[in-house]
Structure 1
Amino acid sequence: MTDPYLPADAETRAQARALIDAARHAALAVLQPGGLNPSVSRIALATDAQGVPVSLISALAAHSAALEATPACALLIGEPGSKGDPLTHPRLTLHCIAQLITRGTPEHDALRTRYLQQRPKAGLYADFGDFRFVRFAITDGLLNAGFGKAVRLTGKELSP
């Protein structure tokens, strides 16, 4: 079997980057602690000043403990359109390493300011003691831009 992925070009890099920049939420895939069971959650998503995906998560959520145990994870972003086959609409899987940000640090404060600019409603819970920011350092990604249009991208190719 031949490799089904096309090489990335300027157009597919821009399309993938646009999906990241426009994403308001993502499906987060993690491995549950102590086992091999994967789990998927919907999370809110924004970007930091460098364009890296970030989220604000509660320590009470199962995916929080999973990321502490195994920071390797994946995000799926991209919305199906209101019409047609959902599989014909672009979507992007990002393979990432989660970086949990410590509260009270300058990094946390900068993320808080930017995140609330992008997601103002999160101000209702951003300062609750169980919430913290997580940055998703992208290692690589898979863009599916429709049937027969699958592209593998490096972390560098997904940088702004």
Structure 2
Amino acid sequence: MQPTSDFNPSHLAKSLLRRSRQGALATLMVDSGDPYCSLVNVASSPDGSPILLISRLAVHTKNVLADPRVSLMLDERAPGDPLEGARIMLLGRAEQVGAEQRDTLRRRYLNAHPSAENYADFADFSFFLIRPSGLHLVAGFGRILDLKPAQFLTDTSDAAGLLEAEQGAVDHMNADHREALGLYATRLLGAEQADWRCTGCDPEGLDLVADGKVLRLDFPERVTSPGELRKMLVRLAEEARAKRLA
């Protein structure tokens, strides 16, 4: 059965990659090649690829270092029957992060998991990036299909300026514009009132978190520079305020 016409699989897959904070990581056992599955915390890189912070003392890390082929299951954690919620199974290779990427991925991971700062620099812990080769999406009857990386990763090739300014923008929003973040969450995304904060941004959207709940605010158009980001955030704040008057 083909997916219905109102179904946007790329958008849903991207949203799950951005909103997920835990997932099931499948690796291959070093000696036997048997499948091994473990629960891991995840964050997203600027293009949406999953970031892991794992210890070399863990079985899954030993497996990855011997054979980088992995799969990662992420789901909506919907109430009720979990099989009724959308989920993705991402295939790829887990690569230890090099010095040129470490600062960016470390920052994004710690924004998503602040408590990890207590152990992120321990000698046995390392950051890994899963470089996807494909993705299997299950989102209900008639909504099951495979996607290629170009269909669920965000193009960042023209956004160097935005990515360089990302942390400054995140810090500025959290320090000076918490009201706007709350408006994005409640009036544009329909969430409950909470102490919403920003954990990251990229050309396609903004990530928000409060009380363990993660939201994705999609931009109506791509932004690739700090100036474009500033204009977009002002525009969205104005739209959110106008909703109260409507």
TM-score by length of 2: 0.59
Contact in 2 for aligned 1:60/1:130 (Cα 8 Å)? yes
Letter matched to residue 13 of structure 1: S
In the TM superposition, what is the alpha-carbon distance from 1:94 to its structure 2 partner? 0.2
Q: 2:143 aligns with which of 111, 129, 149?
A: 149
Q: 1:69 aligns with which of 63, 66, 89?
A: 66
Q: How far apart, in 2, do the equivalents of 1:5 and 1:124 lie? A: 47
In structure 2, do the counterparts of structure 1 residues 25 and 112 end up closer, same or farther at CA, with 3 Å as the change threshold?
same
Report the more deviating stretch, 29-38 or 132-141.
Answer: 29-38
Alignment match, 1:86 = 82
Q: How far apart, in 1, do the equivalents of 2:146 and 2:68 lie? A: 22
Q: How far apart, in 2, do the equivalents of 1:143 and 1:42 lie? A: 19
Residues 65-111 of structure 1 show CA distances to partners (whole Å, capped at 9, x for unaligned) of 1001111110000133222x221110000001111124xx2322222
Letter matched to residue 138 of structure 1: P
Within a 5 Å distance, the mapping from 1:47-66 to structure 2 comes to 47-66=44-63
CA RMSD of aligned residues (A): 2.0
| Pair 1:35-2:32 in alignment | yes
Alignment match, 1:112 = 106
Alignment match, 2:172 = none
Contact in 2 for aligned 1:5/1:152 (Cα 8 Å)? no
- Relative contact order (C-alpha < 8 Å, sep 6+): which is higher? 1
1:64 partner SS: helix
Identical pairs, percent: 33
Contact in 2 for aligned 1:54/1:134 (Cα 8 Å)? yes
Q: How far apart, in 1, do the equivalents of 2:33 and 2:122 lie? A: 31
Q: How far apart, in 2, do the equivalents of 1:114 and 1:106 lie? A: 14
Alignment match, 1:98 = 94
TM-score by length of 1: 0.88
Query: How many residues are aligned here?
Result: 154
Contact in 2 for aligned 1:47/1:54 (Cα 8 Å)? yes
**Larger proportion of strand:** 1
**Larger proportion of helix:** 2
Contact in 2 for aligned 1:13/1:157 (Cα 8 Å)? yes
In the TM superposition, what is the alpha-carbon distance from 1:147 to its structure 2 partner? 2.8
Report the more deviating stretch, 127-136 or 110-119.
Answer: 110-119
- Which runs of 5 or more structure 1 residues have no equivalent in the other structure? none
Give runs of ≥4 in structure 1 deviating > 2 Å. Answer: 4-7
Letter matched to residue 86 of structure 2: P
Residues 96-152 of structure 1 show CA distances to partners (whole Å, capped at 9, x for unaligned) of 1111124xx232222212211221111111011100000000100000001332111
Within a 5 Å distance, the mapping from 1:9-20 to structure 2 comes to 11-20=8-17
| Pair 1:133-2:127 in alignment | yes
- Which runs of 5 or more structure 2 residues have no equivalent in the other structure? 155-246
1:34 partner SS: coil
